Structure formats: C-alpha cells, structure tokens
C-alpha cells in the first residue's frame, strides 16, 4: 500500500511569524543577510557566500548576463539559463565576468590604421566610450594609444580619417605597470583626473584597463559580490544530457558555480552527472543540484556530492507540473522537512549542505518565512522577470506596462532537458505557461525594498542574522479567516499600488 503523510502540505501563505524580543541593538541597519551558497565542513566557512539570500531562476525569461550583473551588484547570484547553445551561454558568462573586475580585459580595441567610422561603430556596439588602440587591434596587443568619444566627432572630421591621427599616443598616456594594485591604480586615476587607466606589461602590451566608473560603482554597491580578482560572481545552469560539453565551456568562460537544472532531481541522471563532472574537472568545480521536496531526496543529492540542494516542485507561478502530473508538495512543508534533514546530515557528517527554496514566493515576507524555516537562500523567477534587466520584452497591455514571462516547460522555451526522464528527446506536454507579469522598474530599487522588509521582519523576531532567525523564530499556521484579516478589509481602498512585490 502507498505511504500516506498524515498532515497536508502547506504553503508560505499559511504561516506567520510570531514577534520575539527586540533589543536596542537589533535595528535593521545592523542585520546581516550573508549566507552560505556552497557546502563546507564544520569549523570552516563556505567557499562562497551570498551577501543577500537571493538568486535568480535558471530561466530564459529571467537570467541573462544583464540581470546577472545587476544582481551581483546587489550581493546575489544569477544562474544564467542553459536552454540555449553552449557558445551563447558561455558568452553570457564571459560578459558578466568581464563587466567589472577592477582590472578589466579591454573589449573595445582597434588598430591605428582603421577609420574613425570604424571606431564609432565599435563604440556603438560595445557601449564603451574608451577604445584602446593596439598594434594588432586585439586586447593583448602592443598599446599605441587611446581614443575616446571626446577626440573626434563624425560629421566634423572625415569618417575615413585614420584613428592614429586622433588618438592620444602612448607617449602622452598616464598608465600603470602590470602588477599595480587596484588601490594604486585608482589613486592614479584620481590624481590625474582620468576616466580610465591602461595597465601595460613590460613588453608594452596591454594587460587590462581600470575605469573610474568601477570605483564609483563599488561605492554605490557596497554589497556587490566579487571573486578574488574583483570580478562579479556568475552562476550557470546545466542539464543532464550535454553536461560534459557544456560544463567545460562555462568553466572556461569563468563561471563560479554551476547548477543542474531539473524539475525533479531525485534520480540517477543527476547522481551520474555529479560524478562525471567531479571525475573530469575535479572537486573544485562548484555544483548545485535539485529539485527535491523531502528528506530522502536531499540525502540522495547531498551524498552524491551536491554543493547545495534546491527544494521545490510545482510551486512556481508559471509551473503546471502539479496540474499535469500530480507531482509536488506545498513549498513550506518541503522546506521544513529538507531543512531538518540538512541539520541532521550536518550533525552526522560534519558537512553543511545549504538548501535553496525554489518557488512558492508570492509576497516579500515569504522570503523571511523561507529563511526562518531553514532555507539558506531563495531562488526567484517571477520576482526578477518584472525588472528592466530581465530578458523579456516590455509591453503596454490593457493600460499597463508588463513584461513577458514564460516557463522552461512551456512550448515557447521547449527546454525538454529540464524534464528529461532518460527517454526520447523532446517535450511531450507542457509543464509551464507563457504569461505576463506587471512591470516593476529597476532591479536595484526593488531588491533594496525587499531586503529592507526582510531586515525589519528579522528585527521584529530579535534576529541580527539568518542563523539567529532560524534558531529563534516562532511560526504559526493560520486559518483562512486569519489570512483575510491580515490584509485590508471592510474599507474602500483609494490606492493599492506598491503593496505587492
């Protein structure tokens, strides 16, 4: 006879936090949301931690390079979608890693014999106003000068004039020698009132560029998530079919962490993929897996070597897996059980494997609930799809601006690999829908508001960190009447804008 759970599974919307004692020291500005992303042994720190507990979903309509940069600036990580060609995904990762590094490999380069019209076209293509003039036009060529948008104007000068006649020659450049520290480079920029500083090797070839705007960006984004070379952290999704070709290309592009993207991860294909990747590329490759909804699924992936485990099946706003196959579990119940399994595994093995709550987040406070229930961080799709930086088109529909948002299991995405059960290739039926979400503006403004809500709620619980929240939080199930009572009622509301995430 089948096994039956005694209790129904619950969603985040069925819980509330009970306030705890708030000390004078417990104020929102002192709350840290730093949280581990990757497994680590007792007594050590995670090899990579998030500064805010938000990552973006592995979806075509959510996680491209533009959103990855914006989220890394705020302290989170994007997992760039894998349902695209390997070269295309690797190029997205490469753009994230080269966008800001303090020391940036120049992506705007030209030969001195090329024309001003070619220089203008290059600036239009890259969006960068500073172009390095190298002997062979490559980012590693011998540096001969710099040309910027201030040095010429098409229409005033001949478009066919050579770049060499308008560039600032190397003899007049202020530059740094390879090996200069970032602090020293920024000091030169400010001392000489420069917008950029080329860094040159002993043989005269261009090593990198340092930009004034990157210093300003760091001041504006104090939580930005950087690697050891001051580049943004980038994640990427892979599947259980072409991982032996996709993983090395993504790693070569600079991906910091990979994640197996699957609607259900308690299977032999994920175990094999983890083993194959570890065997071919070493233990240093960081690899998440999922999704699961119970203790057995977590233990299976933790013992297989996953660096983090994603929790959630069927809870996404565009997901119809439960409707189509009857598979899934209420997200709150799934997180609670898996978190207990994670803690037991830590006690038994001394290895902490972070868990990610993926799906079921409707309102901002659901994030706080997920963290209190044991999640180390949450993965969001609909939330990020609403922002300027997401890939979906912005449309004007029925008097309001919206953005397109479609599921990986929809006919539009046709990401059959995510739902692969080892049979024939192809998507036999949909497990996601094609939809619109309300346009919400910039990622930065919205994430700042969400983070503030989480920090304030944690203070109400007397917690200055996610660990304290998980130790001290008190949660209660609520009735439908309580849910109704918790929103505005028995009044006529003038304006409800700004209430929803």
Q: Is 414 exposed, middle or buried (0-12, 13-18, 19+ CB in 10 A)?
A: middle
**Helices of type H across 127-228:** 182-191, 212-220
DSSP bridge partners of 56: 78, 380
* C-alpha span between 118 and 71 (Å, rounded): 33
Structure tokens, 482: 């309580």
* C-alpha span between 310 and 278 (Å, rounded): 19
Residue with tokens 């200055």: 464
Residue from 26, 39, 259, 319 carrying the catalytic annotation: 319
Residue from 26, 418, 459, 461 carrying the catalytic annotation: 418
Q: How many helices (H) and strands (E) does the chain have?
A: 15, 24
Angle formed at CA 373 by CA 452 and CA 73, multiple of 5 degrees? 35
Handedness of CA 153, 156, 161, 166 (dihedral sign): negative
Residue among 52, 50, 34, 30 nearest 463 (CA): 30
Is 34 marked active-site? no
Instruction: Judge whether 242 and 132 are in contact, CB under 8 Å.
Output: no
Per-residue burial over 451-463, b if 16 or more Cβ lie within 10 Å, else e, is: bebbbebbbebbb
**DSSP 8-state assignment for residue 465:** S
Strands 400-406 and 434-438: antiparallel
Is 356 marked active-site? no
Instruction: Judge whether 392 and 68 are in contact, CB under 8 Å.
Output: no
State the DSSP H helix or E strand holding residue 40, giving kind and residue range, or none if neither: strand 40-41
Q: Strands across the sheet with 394-397, in order?
A: 394-397, 400-406, 434-438
* C-alpha span between 192 and 103 (Å, rounded): 18
| Positions marked catalytic | 319, 418
């Amino acid at each position: 006879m089948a096994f039956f759970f005694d209790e129904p599974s619950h969603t985040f919307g069925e819980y509330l936090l009970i306030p705890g004692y708030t000390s004078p020291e417990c104020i929102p500005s002192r709350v840290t949301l730093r949280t581990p992303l990757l497994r680590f042994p007792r007594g050590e720190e995670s090899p990579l931690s998030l500064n805010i507990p938000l990552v973006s979903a592995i979806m075509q309509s959510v996680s491209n390079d533009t959103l990855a940069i914006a989220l890394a600036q705020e302290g989170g990580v994007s997992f760039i979608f894998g349902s695209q060609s390997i070269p295309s995904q690797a190029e997205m990762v490469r753009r994230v890693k080269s966008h800001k590094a303090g020391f940036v490999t120049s992506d705007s380069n030209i030969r001195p014999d090329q024309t001003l019209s070619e220089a203008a076209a290059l600036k239009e293509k890259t969006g960068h106003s500073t172009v390095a003039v190298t002997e062979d036009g490559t980012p590693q060529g011998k540096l001969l000068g710099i040309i910027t948008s201030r040095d010429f104007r098409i229409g005033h000068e001949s478009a066919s004039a050579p770049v060499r006649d308008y560039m600032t020659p190397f003899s007049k450049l202020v530059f740094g020698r390879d090996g200069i520290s970032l602090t020293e480079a920024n000091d030169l920029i400010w001392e000489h009132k420069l917008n950029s500083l080329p860094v040159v090797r002993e043989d005269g070839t261009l090593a990198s560029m340092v930009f004034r705007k990157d210093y300003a960006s760091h001041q504006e984004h104090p939580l930005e998530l950087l690697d050891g070379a001051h580049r943004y952290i980038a994640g990427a999704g892979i599947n259980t079919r072409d991982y032996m070709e996709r993983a090395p290309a993504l790693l070569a592009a600079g991906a910091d962490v990979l994640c197996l993207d699957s609607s259900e991860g308690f299977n032999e294909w994920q175990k094999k993929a983890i083993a194959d990747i570890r065997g071919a590329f070493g233990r240093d490759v960081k690899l998440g897996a999922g999704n699961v909804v119970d203790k057995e699924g977590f233990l299976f992936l933790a013992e297989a070597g996953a660096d983090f485990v994603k929790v959630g099946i069927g809870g996404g706003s565009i997901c119809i897996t439960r409707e189509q196959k009857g598979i899934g579990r209420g997200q709150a119940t799934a997180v609670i059980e898996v978190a207990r399994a994670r803690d037991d595994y830590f006690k038994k093995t001394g290895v902490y494997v972070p868990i990610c709550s993926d799906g079921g987040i409707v309102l901002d406070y659901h994030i706080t609930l997920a963290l209190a229930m044991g999640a180390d961080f949450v993965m969001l799709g609909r939330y990020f799809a609403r922002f300027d930086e997401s890939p979906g088109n912005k449309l004007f529909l029925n008097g309001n601006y919206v953005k397109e948002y479609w599921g990986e299991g929809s006919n539009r995405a046709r990401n059959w690999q995510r739902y692969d059960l080892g049979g024939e290739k192809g998507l036999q039926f949909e497990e996601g829908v094609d939809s619109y979400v309300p346009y919400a503006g910039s990622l930065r403004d919205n994430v700042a508001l969400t983070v503030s809500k989480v920090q304030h709620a944690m203070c109400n619980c007397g917690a200055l960190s996610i660990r304290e929240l998980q130790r001290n939080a008190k949660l209660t199930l609520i009735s439908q009447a309580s849910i109704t009572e918790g929103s505005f009622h028995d009044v006529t509301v003038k304006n409800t804008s700004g209430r929803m995430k």
